Amino acid sequence: MRNAFSSFNVTNTLILLNLIAYLATALFSANLVEMDTRVLVSFGALYGPLIFGYDEWWRLLSAMFLHGGMTHLLMNMFSLYIVGRPAQIYFEKRAFLAIYFFAGLIGAVASLAVHPQSVGIGASGAIFGIFGALAGFFLVHRERIGAQSKMFMKNFGVIIALNVLLGLSIPSIDMSAHIGGLAAGLIGGVLLSYNPRWWLFYSVSMVLAVCSALFYLQGSYASVL
């Protein structure tokens, strides 16, 4: 019998990586509760001037593992724990990882489009992607798992509404990253629920979407300098 960690090893590993990154930034910030913005930038937070001015594209990935404070971290890791475990049941490991990381990347691109001069961090775009993927799964299989699908979609609607209200009331929450990640995850969830072998098509499509958006944003950013 597999232990609890190996049963949901992808979700648990992602949580562990986020915790390690948080402890590292806390060490350099000399504060366990709130992170120093300069430390977050040095560790790879989203920041338009460095991404577009110095081609530091790796920040789109590294920012997914950084959090601004204890509350931010705990909220995101609890959400990942809640949605990641059932998603591992319905999706293969490579499909899960493709959805998670591409949702995070699309969320980061959306954040850059709306807030190019702001520092962006957090796993919420990727987490919303997993939630969107579950919504896609239940939409595709709603006839076969009717009652369960209806319950999930009702809860899905409530959580989305609460997050929209929270995002409107708290300026520091980046709704653009949430929406971008959710859309990428929903697309992936629908595609891979129809056929898990389409994960490569989904991945290539997302790479093209990210690259095209960044090319456009870089041109727009250069035009205002």
Annotated catalytic residues are 124, 178
Q: Would you say residue 185 has pLDDT above 90?
A: yes
Residue 31 confidence (pLDDT): 97
Q: pLDDT class for 219, splitting at 50, 70, 90?
A: confident
Give pTM, 2 decimals.
0.90
Q: pLDDT class for 2, splitting at 50, 70, 90?
A: very low
For residues 41-66, average pLDDT: 96
Mean pLDDT estimate for the chain: 88
Split into its structural domains, the chain has a count of 1
CATH value at residue 134: 1.20.1540.10
Q: pLDDT class for 1, splitting at 50, 70, 90?
A: very low
137: containing domain: 4-223
Q: pLDDT class for 225, splitting at 50, 70, 90?
A: low
| Alpha helices in the chain, H assignment, sequence order | 4-7, 9-29, 37-43, 48-54, 59-62, 70-90, 93-114, 124-140, 146-169, 175-194, 199-223
Q: What does the block give as tokens for 146?
A: 């009717």
- The enclosing H or E element of 120 equals strand 119-120
Strand partners, 110: none
Q: What is residue 149's DSSP assignment? A: H
Q: What is residue 12's DSSP assignment? A: H
Select the more confidently predicted residue: 224 or 96. 96
Instruction: Return all residues near 39 (Cβ < 8 A) that are at least 6 apart.
Output: 25, 28, 29
pLDDT tens for residues 66-93? Answer: 999 998 899 889 889 988 998 998 999 9
